[in-house]
Amino acid sequence: MSSAPPAETAFERDVLPHMDLMYRVALRLTGEAAAAEDLVQDTVLKAFRAWDSFRQGTNARGWLLTILRNSFINDYRRRRRAPALVDLDVAEQHARLDDQPGQDPEGEFFHSLVDDRILAAIDGLPEEFREVVVLSDVEGLGYAQIAETLGVPVGTVKSRLFRARKQLQGTLLEYAIEAGIVRPGKDA
Amino acid sequence: MNDSRLDCAEALALLQDYLKDELTPDNQRRVAGHLAACGHCLEHEHFERNFLAAIQRAAKGIRCPDEVAARIRQALRSDTPD
Ligand SMILES: [Zn+2]
């Protein structure tokens, strides 16, 4: 139809490469593809309208993640379920499962778990845990960047990540036991 | 900080930060030194690394569907002021 494609703008150059990242985070936050698609689109459009406030030359990733998370909290979470509050007892219980390495000396069980199970386990985490796992362990952000994105102190990020991983490992271990990949060992 | 050796409890307490490469270079070295010499803690490190690799494998390959990206580009174009 149109003759030549429009020239790429600075916004497109800096923001669009992060589309996959935004989609992955949105998908884990919302838990459903349709909502994730809408959340990414909203994020990009909000970023576009706020483009003047973005400091050129800084990393757009953190800026976009902050916009995405705020949109999620304001517009999406409310529509879905009540926000999942961290069940401290459950978290503590899992955190005490700290002899897991001894149950899998070969380190094979994570390898044997299918991706869908792992994603389901991530999605089953309380939101406060899920978001740090996604930002840290899926996307590889450092503590400082996560703290900035979530608006919490670095110490909070560290302790949430610790407890999130323990809970996730506990869930995956249960899957592995159910699937017969590992045998329940030890007296817990 | 100092050259003192870490014991297992200290090494494991630093493991999370070590794996994220968030320790000072000194402490990164101290933890690495402990892991090199301690099979017990090394097992913990492998466990955590296997765990992280599994998370990455499961979640990191997901991409924004092309038609969604196209729709967003389209929305951007029509949102352009003036
Ligand atoms: Zn040790």
CATH of the domain at B43: 1.10.10
- ipTM for the complex? 0.90
Question: Has residue B68 been placed in a domain?
Answer: yes
Mean pLDDT of the A135-148 span: 96
Tell me how close the Cα of A187 comes to any Cα of chain B, in angstroms: 19
Identify the pLDDT of residue B82: 44
Looking at beta carbons, which residues of chain B come within 8 Å of A41? 68, 71-72, 75
Residue of A87 and B65 predicted with greater confidence: B65
Q: DSSP H helical segments within A105-153, as ranges?
A: 109-112, 115-123, 127-133, 143-150
Contact B75 A44 (CB under 8 A): yes
Looking at beta carbons, which residues of chain B come within 8 Å of A16? 69, 73
Closest residue in A to B19 (Cα–Cα): A137
pLDDT band at A77 (very low <50, low <70, confident <90, very high): confident
Nearest to A44 by CA among A25, A62, A67: A67
Residue of A63 and A93 predicted with greater confidence: A63
- How much distance in Å is there from the Cα of A122 to the middle of ligand 1? 29
Contact A137 B52 (CB under 8 A): yes
Q: Is the pLDDT reported for residue A38 higher than 70?
A: yes
pLDDT band at A140 (very low <50, low <70, confident <90, very high): very high
Query: Distances in Å between the alpha carbon of A125 and those of A57, A74, A163?
Result: 35, 20, 10
Residue of A66 and A109 predicted with greater confidence: A66
Query: Can you tell me the distance from the alpha carbon of A131 to that of B67, in angstroms, rounded to the nearest whole number?
Result: 26
User: Which of B76, B78, B82 is most worth mutating to test chain A (most A CB atoms within 10 A of its CB)?
Assistant: B76
Q: Is the pLDDT reported for residue A39 higher than 70?
A: yes
Identify the pLDDT of residue A103: 57
Q: Which residues contact residue B53 at a Cβ distance below 8 angstroms, ignoring those fewer than 6 apart?
A: A110, A111
In order of their start, the domains of chain A are 1-82 (1.10.1740.10), 105-188 (1.10.10.10)
pTM, 2 dp: 0.85
Residue of A176 and A62 predicted with greater confidence: A62
Q: Is the pLDDT reported for residue A97 higher than 60?
A: no
pLDDT in tens, B10-56: 999 999 999 999 999 999 999 999 999 999 999 999 999 999 999 99
pLDDT band at A167 (very low <50, low <70, confident <90, very high): very high
Tell me how close the Cα of A78 comes to any Cα of chain B, in angstroms: 23
Give the range with max mean pLDDT: A69-83, A101-115, B34-48.
Answer: B34-48
Question: Has residue B71 been placed in a domain?
Answer: yes
Among A2-11, A42-51, B45-54, the minimum mean pLDDT is found in A2-11
Chain centroid to Cα A57, Å, comes to 25
Question: Has residue B3 been placed in a domain?
Answer: no
Query: Can you tell me the distance from the alpha carbon of A164 to that of A129, in angstroms, rounded to the nearest whole number?
Result: 5
pLDDT in tens, A49-70: 999 888 877 889 999 999 999 9
CB atoms within 10 A of CB B82: 2
Domain range for B74: 8-79
Number of domains in chain B: 1
